[in-house]
Structures are given as structure tokens and as C-alpha cells.
Amino acid sequence: MNGASDYAPGLSDPSPQGEHRLGPAWLIYFHAAVCCASLAYLGRIYGYAGIAYDDAHLYDAALNVIPFVLVSVLFTFARFSFGYFLGFHFYTVILGFLWLVESSKLGYDKEAASISAFASAVAFLLPTLFILSPILRTDVVSVRTFDRILTAVLVASTALIVVSAFYNFRLVDFAAASRVRSQLNEPTALGYLDPIASNALLPVAFATFVLRRNFWRAALTILLLLAFYPVTLSKTALFAPFWILGITVLSKLFEARTTVVLTLFLPVVTGVVLGFLADQDFVAYVSVRNYIGLVNLRMVAIPSSALDLYNDFFAKHDLTYFCQVNILKRLFSCPYAQPLAVMMQNAYGVGNLNASLFATEGIASVGLAGAPIAVLACGLVVALGNRVSASLPPRYVLMSGAIIPQVFLNVPLTISLMTGGAAVLFLMWLITPRAMFEQPRRE
Amino acid sequence: MCVIRELLPYRRPFVLTLLVALLVLAVSLFMVRREYSVRSTIAVPATFADNKLTPLYQPDQMAKQVTSGYLFPALLELSQKGVLPSTLNTLERTKAEAAGLFVNLSSSVQESQQDDARRFQQLIVDQIIKERAVEVEALRKSVAAKVASANRASRDLVQQTRDFESQIQTLSASAEELKKQIGSRQSELTTAFKNTANSNSADERAVNETVVRELREQIGSLLVLTRDTDTQRLGMARALVDIKRQNEEQLKAAADGERELETISDTRVLLPPSVIPVSIGPRRLSLLLAGFFLSLMAAFGTVVVLYNFDRHFGSKKPSTGRPE
């Protein structure tokens, strides 16, 4: 582990003493409680994907979750890193799964699945929270070169948006976007480049511009991020600019670890409050339905629910032994000709459901018993992100990596790295000159 | 390790918070009033059809009807009889679950609410039985009408069978008679051929040849008649098979209907509203354990707050947790 001296001084942290203190504890407890309340509410309203709300399971769900909340101690002791950011998102997913598993109507070994999920979470968090040593201690590129790279990113992103617009350009609301997205027809290369630009390159550019107080270029970056929505029609593209701006504001006000918790706590608690107000007839349910459906359900509950479905499916079907990865599928025989997301749609009718590394590299590939080991390996890969971003300002890591946790929650590790832009983000962090964030010392 | 060493001075607030939180949670847990379960079970009307017992109403639909329909009139009736609002609130959470052909009603109530809960469930059960009885009776009448219709059709078909069999017998007799006539004509023809061959004069020969020609014509006519009779008899035999098949179908329909009539069951109460004698109070041991975990978290959270407070506002030297 590194001392706080590894951080660039000055711009690195709104609270210079932040990293000398322990991380949040009570806030994480509140977050866990709010997540459980959110899931109970969602189960009652939606009854999604085999999950049905039942008062009788409240005690069991609470008993299942409480020991896991103790794992949050790790977040109190750990220093901020990319792994902290991602790890907290996965902590929320596993917490949600442990709550949902008790009321799931699907028929698999719930106890074994709970133990496996618990062990997998710990196996993932240990390397992602505590492997922090930097890979390189000298700058790979100069500040001037990096500036040019960022300018190239802006130009290339603009070109990418223009080219993509020739294939698809539709201004529809996000509810309609889900329906229309399946009809999009664009070259495979754009399918890779668009998310890499919007999830990794532009957030890096934005973070750099904000920390260097280059606000006009930062605003231009936000506009470019927004421009990806009409050509990709993805919810991530629509909400990415607002999400990054939110994290920018929060990270200005709070210490990095508190910001991480607040990025999930605030949206979820807002949904719970809105749901409560709707229940009490203070607001109409239709006016809050979209928010709750998008944030509490889609963003937080569905990744947990996906674990439930994957557990059930692979309790009754052959494991993939990683053959879901296209390269491996060509080399080895695979029991599944179709992608796992399509298999899930065929089996459960919940839409094409990709799932996180816990479900895909874990449960689907090696089963419940092997999942903690596979997830540990994934944690070591994520720890690479910590090592390449070590000594970067926490605020920079938060802003530039803002979108990536959402990608990791919904797709497997391999897709997150290659298609989702995580590998490119790691590369950008590796070459980001640390000298760029140094302030002249005051006499 | 370094951080943990720095936290050691906070062991007193840790232990104090742990004990206070555990005490509060344990006391709260033991103050939670015991609850009892009032349950009743209804068997939905069913019938034996297609070699399996089939419910006339889907149990899960009936369960939904209980919670979305039957519940409220029963609550209203109890309310008019002066049952306390708190009890009504509790009873409103009564659950109805389908299990096989049964619907289970269950209310978790306190001891003082047991009688009201029993009355409440009895009202629901009575209402369900009353409404379903009318519908089951209508179904019985409908099935009985189908059975009667099938029996009538079967009787008609039996009569048709008899008629056809009689006609076939008549046609068979005709065919036999025709065969005999053909045989007789053929022997006469043989004789006529011989006579023609033995004729002594041209006149006699011409007469015999005329006889031969006439006999041939008669035999030809008889053969045509025989063929027509056979065709008619074959057609009737086929029709007879078809009628017999139809009759069997009608008999089967009547038998199925009668069996259905016998097996249509009414909505039945398997378990009248009863208080399950075992308390379903909270599982205290597991909850105590959960309470211990919660207390640990509270204690740890308190130590973290104190530690961070000291680091941020106080001296860098960690607090001992003791008053100065």
C-alpha cells in the first residue's frame, strides 16, 4: 500500500486530509438500508423477473444481508482507488442479490448461491481495494503531448459522431429508444468505437479539462458526450453527461470515498423517497415511475436480479467454461451457439440480459464453487486499473472513470475491457502525465 | 495494521456502543408482541376431465380475487360491527396463496384479534362458497343437458343402425335370389346350346338360337341387377360402420358427461378458520444474532466518527475515549 504522498498535491483532493482519515461507515450502513428498502418497494411494484414481494421473506432477507454489511468495513479502511469506486458498485449488487435471493421464486440452491456470492464479493474486494502500488513512477508522455492527445480525442469523437449520424440519427425519448435500438444498423467498427469514445476517452478529456480549469473545452466535451445519444440511443450515452457533472460537483464537495458512496446512495434514496411520496398520494405514481424504473430498478436492482437468473439457469444447464468469449468459442466446443444474453431472453423473457463478471465469468463459467476464484482473478485484472491510476488525483479518477462502473455492472469483464472502454481508460490513465496536476508551490 | 493500532485507544467507546446498541435491540426484540396465525383452506371446485383433475377456477386467480375483491366487503362488515380500526388494518394484510387445488388464507394477528380474524375469514369463505355454488350448479345443468343430448342422439343412431341392418339383410336376400336365377338361366342356356347344335332343320335351329339370345339377355340383365344390389349393400355397410362410430362417440360423450357430473366438486372448506396454536413470534435467536452484527456495526461506525473527528478537528493524536 502506498502512503498519501503518492498523490499529486494540490488539485488531488478537495479535502487534503481526506486520505488520512478513515472512509465512511455510517453512510454505507444507510446506503445498505436504503438499497434494501428500494428492493422491497420494487418487488412490490414490479415483481420483476421471478422476484415477488412477500412479507414472510423480509426477516430472511434482512438476516441474509446483515452479515454482508460487515464487509463494508473494508471500504472504511481502504484508500480511494478505481477499485474502490468499482468495488462499491459491486458491493451494492451483491447486497441486492442477497436481499432478492430470499424472495426469488426460481428454484436453485439459494443457500449455496448466497455463500458463493458472499465469498465472491470478498474475493473481488480484497485485490481491488488493497492492490494500489503504481506500475510506473515516471511520466510516459509529456504534458504537451497529452494535451495534443486530448485535442485529437475531441476531433476524433466529433468525426465519430458525424459518421455514426450517417447510419443512425434519431431524436426519441429514452423509453422509445429501448424499442428503436434493436433496429439500429451500423458497422461493427462503430459499435466498438462509440462506447470507447463515450465511456473512456471523453470522460478522461473532461476530467483533465476540469482539473486544469479549462472550462470551455470541458463544456465542449459534455456536448460531445450528449451528441452520442441520438446516434447510439443508449441510456448510458444520454445520462453520461449528467452523471459526470454530478460526480464533478460531489467530488468538489466531499472526500473521494464519500463521493463514491453518495453516487449510489443519493439516486437510490431519491427513488425511495419518491416511491414513499407516491404511496402516500403526495405525488402521482406516473410522474415518478420513470425515475424509479430507471434508477432504482434498471441501474441498481437489475444487475442483482441478473445474478438470480444466471444462478437459476446454470443450475440447470451446462457451464460455459469461458466459451462465451468469442475467441475461445472459435477454439473450443461450446454448449451454447447463441450469446448468453439471448439465452437468458429465451429462457426467462426478460430481454437480452447481459450480466456482470460475477454472473458471467463467475457463475456461468465455473459454477457456484469456482465463482470466488474466477472473480478473484477478475479482481486482479481490475487492480491493474488501480495500479495504472495510482498517484493520479482521486477526483480525476472519479470523473474520468465515472461511466465505467455502470458498464462493469451490466456486462462481463471481457466486454467491459474491450468494448466498454475500460482497457482504453486504463491506457489513458497510464499515460496521463502526473506533472500536469502539480501546482506551483506557494512561497 | 497501523490503522488498527491507531484505533485501539477507541476500544472503550467501541465496547460501550456495542453493549448499549445490543441492549436496546435485545429489549426491543423481546418487547415485540407475539403474533398468531389464523388460517383457513378452501378447495376450489374441480372436475375430472381428460383423465385428470382440473380446477374449474384457477386457484391463483381465486387467491387474487380474495385480496383484491372479497377482502374489502368483509372488512366493511366487521367495521360496521364495531371492530377496532387497528384490527381492521391488521386484517387488511391477510394473505391468500394458491397451492395446488387449494387456496390458503392466513392472517397474522395478536392474541386479542384472533376471534375477529376468524370471523373475518369465515365471511370471506362464506362469500366465496355462495358465489361459486351458483356457478357450479349452472355448470352441472349444462353438463347434464349435454349428457341428455348425447343419449338422445345415441338412441337415434341405434334406430338408424337397426334400419340399415334390416335393409342390408333384404338386399342380401335379393342378391341370393338373383344368383339362383342366374344359375337357372345358365343351365337353360347350356340346354339351349345343345338343342341348337342338335337341330335337324333350319327352322328349328333359328328357334333355338332365338332362345339362346333371349337367355343371354336375361342373364345380362340379372348380372347388372346383382351388381347394383351389391353396390347398394356395400354403401349401406359403410354407412352402418359410420353410424356405429357416431353412436360410440355419443355414448362416450354421454359417459364422460356423466362422469364429469359425478366428479364436479363444490367449493369446499378443508380447514375452517382456525388459530394455529404455535406462536409465529419473531425468530428471536437469529434476530439476536443479527442484532449483535448491527451492534458491532454501530460500534465500529461510532469509532470511525470519533477517529475522523479527532483527525480533522482535534489534535492528530488520537483520542483515548476518556474525558480529560
| HEC profile of B112-156 | HHHHHHHHHHHHHHHHHHHHHHHHHHHHHHHHHHHHHHHHHHHHH
pLDDT digits (tens, 9 = 90+) for A201-212: 999 999 999 999
pLDDT digits (tens, 9 = 90+) for B165-213: 999 999 999 999 999 999 999 999 998 888 888 888 888 888 888 989 9
- Residue A55 has a pLDDT of 58
Distance from CA of A66 to the nearest CA of B (A): 6
Answer whether residue A38 shows pLDDT above 60.
yes
Distance, CA of B243 to CA of B153 (rounded, Å): 11
Distance from CA of A95 to the nearest CA of B (A): 15
With beta carbons under 8 A apart, name residues in chain A contacting B290.
Answer: 62-63, 66
Sort residue A365 into left (φ over 0), alpha (ψ -120 to 50) or beta: alpha
Contact: A77, B3; criterion CB under 8 Å:
yes
Residue B42: enclosing H or E segment and its boundaries? strand B36-43
* Preferred mutation among A20, A26, A72 to probe B, highest tally of B CBs within 10 A: A26
Give yes or no for B240 touching A (CB within 8 A).
no
- Residue B322 has a pLDDT of 43
Range list of H helices, chain B = 2-7, 11-31, 59-65, 71-80, 85-92, 114-197, 202-263, 284-312
Q: Which residue of A has its CA nearest to B297?
A: A70
Contact: B301, A25; criterion CB under 8 Å:
yes
Answer whether residue A386 shows pLDDT above 70.
yes
Distance from CA of A17 to the nearest CA of B (A): 7
With beta carbons under 8 A apart, name residues in chain B contacting A65.
Answer: none
With beta carbons under 8 A apart, name residues in chain A contacting B301.
Answer: 25-26, 29
- Residue A57 has a pLDDT of 72
Distance from CA of A165 to the nearest CA of B (A): 50
- Residue A11 has a pLDDT of 36
Range from A210-224, B47-61, B308-322 carrying the lowest mean pLDDT:
B308-322
Going by their DSSP bridges, the two strands B268-276 and B102-109 should be labelled as unpaired
Distance from CA of A59 to the nearest CA of B (A): 8
Average pLDDT of the segment spanning A146-163: 94
SS3 A71: helix
Please, how many CA atoms are within 13 Å of residue A207, restricted to the half-sphere of its CB?
A: 30
**Judging by beta carbons within 10 Å of its beta carbon (0-12, 13-18, 19+), is residue B268 exposed, middle or buried?**
middle
- Per the model's pLDDT, the better-predicted residue between B89 and B23 turns out to be B23
pLDDT digits (tens, 9 = 90+) for B200-257: 888 888 888 898 999 999 999 999 999 999 999 999 999 999 999 999 999 998 988 8
- B288 grid coordinates: 439476536
Partner residue opposite B283 with nearest CB, options A17, A24, A59: A59
Cβ within 8 Å of residue B31, ≥6 positions away? none
> Is the distance from CB of A81 to CB of A19 less than 8 angstroms?
no
SS3 B103: strand
The model scores a pTM over 0.90: no
Distance, CA of A292 to CA of A443 (rounded, Å): 52
Grid cell 433496429 is found at A183
Answer whether residue A226 shows pLDDT above 60.
yes
Distances (CA, A) of B135 to B44, B103, B266: 12, 18, 10
pLDDT band at residue A56 under the 50/70/90 scheme: low
Give yes or no for A63 touching B (CB within 8 A).
yes
Chain B segment 247-306 residues within 8 A of A by beta carbon are 282-283, 286-287, 289-290, 293-294, 296-297, 300-301, 304-305
Beta bridge partners of B42: B103, B269
pLDDT digits (tens, 9 = 90+) for A113-145: 999 999 999 999 999 999 999 887 677 789 999
Distance, CA of B211 to CA of B205 (rounded, Å): 10
Contact: A63, B95; criterion CB under 8 Å:
no
Answer whether residue B318 shows pLDDT above 60.
no
pLDDT band at residue A384 under the 50/70/90 scheme: very high
Range list of H helices, A284-338 = 285-291, 302-316, 326-331
Cβ within 8 Å of residue B209, ≥6 positions away? B196
